[in-house]
Amino acid sequence: MTSASLQRNPSLDDWIEIGADGSVTLRTGKAELGQGLKGAIARIGADGLDVSLDRIRVETADTARGPDEGLTAGSRSMPDSGMAMRQAAAAARAHLLALAAVELGCDVGELSVLDGTVSGGGRSVSYWDLLGGRRFEVEVDPGVEPKQPAALALLGRPGPRIDMLGLVTGTTAFVQDLDQAGTLHARVVRPPGPRSELQSADLDAVRALPGVLAAVADGSFLGVVAEREEQAMRARELLAARARWRVEECLPDDVHRWLLEQEPQSFLLVDGIPVADPCEPTEPPDGAAATVSATYTRPLIMHAAIGPSAALAQWTADGAGLTVFSHSQGVSPLRDSLAQVLAVAPENVRVAHVVGPGCYGHNGADDAALDAALLARAVPGRPVLLKWTREEEHAWEPYGPAMVIEARASVAADGTLLDWSSDVWSTPHTARPIPHPGTSRLLAAGHLADPLPRNMPTPTLTRVGGIHRNADPLYSIARRRVVKRFVEGLALRTSSLRALGAFANVFAIESLIDELATEAGLDPLQLRLRNLADARARAVLETVAERGGWARRPRDQAGRGSGLAFARYKNSDCYAAVLVEASVDDATSQIVLERAVIAADAGQIIDPVGLVNQLEGGFVQAASWTLKERVTFDAARVTSVDWESYPILRFSEVPPIETALLDRPGEPYLGAGEATQGPTAAAIANAVHAAIGLRLRELPFTPDRIQDAALR
Amino acid sequence: MAAAEDTPLLLVLRNELGLRAAKHGCGLEQCRVCTVLVDGEPVPSCVAPAASFEGREIVTLEGLGTPADPHPLQRAFYEESAAQCGYCIPGMILAAKALLDANPSPSDDEIRAALDEHLCRCGTHPRILAAIRRAAAELAR
């Protein structure tokens, strides 16, 4: 099997290096986002090569070396890089064994390997003797068969990530920590709102402050560079206080009404693929036992990384070359985008990934990289560490889009789903900084005196898009009509946030299934099972129901109830079912999550602890979106700019979670980082309905939404 | 030290002393990723000037243990894989240290209450709770 990553990077030396010192360096073109990439790649490589984990070093995305694997997104780290490393390690082992066979004068079949030492015919030779410090000089052989699951020592067994000790001892250097001797500090002053223009700035006053080396005003892009961090912060404050802006009112007061008022580009999904056919409405079928129509919404949601975006940039003294350290999800598209805005050749720009605060999609990392490069240009030869403020992060990151889903479904008396119709409105979920002539998607590019205007995304018309991700139910339904409605023109940037459209689409589908079950007097679990042909889908549902005590759940709507929901992410990746038991506090109308159960099938398990962390982390984050999160704004600017105006879930609100993993040895790795997002929201909505009989269709489920539903 | 008197403790720790375990998260004392122990109590360091801590004992995560010799809490976090991105973990471990010093066998609710001001965006809460329970059990031996 040849993965796309291997086709793009066929040289074995891109992936694996046998060190002269007894080490093995594995290179991936993906980035460590907190998802545990390094640990997983290390396990795959160590198992495949037969070397111990403590010999392994993992280097992540860097335009200067290693494979180019594009973006680290879409839960593709394991399907792309994991599968590629599996093949590369198998090919490397076979290559080394062939060398050893010559060295030892025996057949490959007679050889055995223990921690990189090959034995045969009574003698032995190590990988490091055979190839240490030299290159393979071959392409990855796609014909070598990777090991059978039973022969793997590490995969599927629990054990800490190789980067865990650094994290728990505070010795891991994040981008924000790259302030070594001689590093200068930079800050930016952003406009008040998305369509504000700089009228005047007092650069002279800022330049007179102690330690300030540069104050930059380029169009509406304003920033400072200083010797010391606190000097940069003080200079930023003065620069902001004295700047005068023209502020344009450009934001709608109700983003969902705005979505429905725009002229969308509409596409009917045919076999999961958007096709520009007519999207005529349909009528519900005759003979249905129940038909339910409902509208579901999600607001704009933030990534809200726990640390604000940052980047370290350094130009060569002659100003010709640039190096940037960034927590971007895509070092090569970022390099090309930076080169475009800065008008330098891409080969003169190096972008290397350094870990940052948790990344859940296209956040401010790329924009911070351009900010750093623009400000570092004023002090060539010096490294400049640029950091965003909390307010900047909250107000300027690209958000996960607001969405509206109008859906209608019909079921027969025996529980057979007869008909499905849904329309999904959203602004783009994919607006990453990929260069296009004359335009840019990097934030500051649009603020420069000679601006590159924002590049407007176009609808994705492949099976795996953003708006229509999981819009098509996995259930067998005799007739279906699913329409993607792509809307453009919101003044706020929207782009990829964990699970993209799947979060709201699964919320809508799995809520509507529950509503249909209520209406037709069917058990919601049985309704799902009856219409699911895929045995792996059925298995996660049956497991979650069994572990969660579904058959014994309270059914009296007396304040406590259970809800469940299911999805197969992208209809092609990880299967996940979530069961939530919730209660609603009478006095405060707060939803209390009493406990949660997850069942998931992510193919062959690489690291069960890492898998649980991704699934449960996805649940907690999605529960936070579901219960609390909504970007707020007035006519001109974002108003949710800190953790009080944009609260997230806290320890006291996180329920006990039990997770069941269904291992599938020999099956391909299915990324799990986004699998629980959608089912979580619907499971909570369904649990609230079971608890108090109120149906919540507008995210987030804040107490005022409960009170509104009670009054309906 | 070259820092001015009103420089926040966090910047002095990170930039003057090279102690970078404590992180900048908000600069508003809202998220607690900048937590340090001041006379044993968990305190945010991102706003209060370093000068205001004169005469107090300050412990950062580096003061608990090292990769070669981790503190039992750090070992418990390691064993439980209680980190995803890891950015909030230094503050979590120090808050847990203060909790266990005062209350060696806390209930789950007491752990949750002690950490409630500490934000984690990756959703690592279940594993952090497990790590603190494990550390409490091991320290009790």
Closest to B127 (Cα-Cα) out of A265, A609, A504, A337 = A609
d(CA A421, CA A406) in angstroms, rounded, equals 8
Q: Which residues of A95-106 are buried (b: 16+ CB within 10 A; e: fewer)?
A: bbbebbbeebeb
Question: Mean of the per-residue pLDDT values for chain A?
Answer: 96
Enumerate the β-bridge partners of residue A561.
Answer: A582
Residues 6+ apart with CB under 8 A from B24: A176, A307, A308, A387, B10, B14, B33, B34, B46
Give per-residue pLDDT as tens, B69-126: 999 999 999 999 999 999 999 999 999 999 999 999 999 999 999 999 999 999 999 9
| Distance in angstroms (rounded) separating the CA atoms of residues A697 and A404 | 10
Residue A450 CB neighbour total at 10 angstroms? 8
Q: How confident is the model at residue A158 (pLDDT cuts 50, 70, 90)?
A: confident
DSSP A641-657: -STTTS----GGGPPPE
Q: Does B20 touch chain A (CB under 8 A)?
A: yes
pLDDT digits (tens, 9 = 90+) for A604-656: 998 899 999 999 999 999 999 999 999 999 999 999 999 999 999 999 999 99
Extract the tokens encoding A220.
């509406």
Residue A2: its pLDDT value, please?
64
Distance CA A23, CA A39 (A): 16
Q: Which residue of A has its CA nearest to B22?
A: A170
Candidates A164, A168, A357; nearest CB to B87? A357
B130 CA: distance to closest CA in chain A (Å)? 11
3-state SS assignment for residue A5: helix
Q: Among A153-167, A548-562, A583-597, A665-679, which is the least confidently predicted range?
A: A153-167
Kindly determine whether residue A230 and residue B111, on different chains, have CB atoms separated by under 8 Å: no
- The shortest CB-CB distance from B30 to any of A614, A644, A657 is to A644
Q: CB of B17 within 8 Å of any CB in chain A?
A: no
Residues of chain A found within 8 Å of residue B116, distances taken between Cβ atoms: 650-652
Measured torsion, CA atoms of residues A122, A127, A130, A131, in degrees rounded to the nearest 10: 180
- Please name the residue that has the structure tokens 């602004």: A427
Alpha-carbon span A253 to A355, nearest angstrom: 37
d(CA A563, CA A545): 10
Closest CA–CA distance from residue A39 to any residue of chain B (Å): 11
Q: What would the mean pLDDT of A186-203 be, rounded to a whole number?
A: 97
DSSP single-letter state for residue A400: B
Decide if pLDDT at A1 tops 60. Answer: no
Q: Counting runs of H as helices and runs of E as strands, what totals does chain A give?
A: 17, 25
Q: Please give the average per-residue pLDDT across B53-67, as a whole number.
A: 97
Of B11, B84, B113, the CB nearest to A613: B84
> CA-CA distance, A503 to A683, in Å (whole number)?
12
A-B contacts (CB, under 8 Å)? 172
CA–centroid distance for A497 within its chain: 6
pLDDT in tens, A362-417: 999 999 999 999 999 999 999 999 999 999 999 999 999 999 999 999 999 999 99
Q: Amino acid letter at A262?
A: Q
- CB-nearest to A652 from B7, B31, B112 is B112
Mean pLDDT to the nearest integer, A257-269: 97
Confidence check: pLDDT of A155 > 90: no
Q: Give me the mean pLDDT over the A461-472 stretch.
A: 94
Q: What's the rounded mean pLDDT across residues A328-352?
A: 97
**Residues A95, A204: Cα–Cα separation, whole Å:** 64
Interior angle at CA A588, CA A586 and CA A593, nearest 5: 80
pLDDT confidence tier of residue A462, bands split at 50, 70 and 90: very high
* Chain B residues 79-98 within an 8 A CB cutoff of chain A: 79, 81-90, 93
Q: A229-240 pLDDT, tens per residue?
A: 999 999 999 999
Residues in Cβ contact with A359 at an 8 Å cutoff, skipping those fewer than 6 apart: A31, A33, A34, A303, A305, A327, A329, A365, B85
Q: Choose between A607 and A219: higher pLDDT.
A: A219
Whole-complex ipTM: 0.98
Rg (CA), chain A: 27
Q: What is the DSSP letter of A79?
A: I
CA-based nearest residue in chain A for residue B6: A230
3-state secondary structure of A405: strand
- DSSP labels for chain B? --S-TT-BHHHIIIIIS---SS--S-SSSSS-TT-EEETTEEE--SSSBGGGGTT--EE-GGGT--SSS--HHHHHHHHTT--SS-TTHHHHHHHHHHHHHH-SS--HHHHHHHHTT---SS--HHHHHHHHHHHHHHHT-
Those residues whose C-beta lies under 8 Å from the C-beta of residue A299, and which sit 6 or more positions away, are A255, A402, A629, A630, A631, A699, A700
Closest to A58 measured CA to CA, from A86, A96, A30, A97: A30
Q: What is the pLDDT of residue A693?
A: 96
* Region of poorest pLDDT, from A68-82, A440-454, A465-479: A68-82
Q: Is the pLDDT of residue A455 over 60?
A: yes
Task: Calculate the CA A242 to chain-centre distance.
Answer: 38
Distance from CA of B141 to the nearest CA of A (A): 22
pLDDT in tens, A484-508: 999 999 999 999 999 999 999 999 9
Confidence class for position B127, pLDDT limits 50, 70, 90: very high
| pTM: predicted TM-score of the whole model, two decimal places | 0.96
Identify the band that residue A150 occupies on the pLDDT scale cut at 50, 70 and 90: confident
Query: How far does the CA of residue A305 sit from the closest CA of chain B (Å)?
Result: 7
Residue A64: count of CB within 10 angstroms of its CB = 10
The enclosing H or E element of A598 equals strand A591-601
Whether residues B122 and A358 touch (CB distance < 8 A) is answered with: yes
- Judged by DSSP in three states, A507 sits in helix
B119–A650: do the CB atoms touch at under 8 Å?
yes
Judge: B78–A650 Cβ closer than 8 Å, yes or no.
Answer: no
| % of chain A exceeding 90 in pLDDT | 91
Q: Between these two residues, A455 and A641, which has the higher pLDDT value?
A: A641
User: Which residues are CB-contacts of A312 (< 8 A; sequence separation ≥ 6)?
Assistant: A175, A178, A183, A324, A325, A354, A372, A383, A384, A385, A386
Kindly state the average pLDDT of the residues A548-566. Answer: 94
Q: What is the largest CA-CA distance in chain A?
A: 84
Chain B nearest CA to A618, separation (Å) = 7
Closest residue in A to B89 (Cα) is A168
Neighboring chain B residues of A643 at a CB cutoff of 8 Å:
26, 28, 30-31, 119
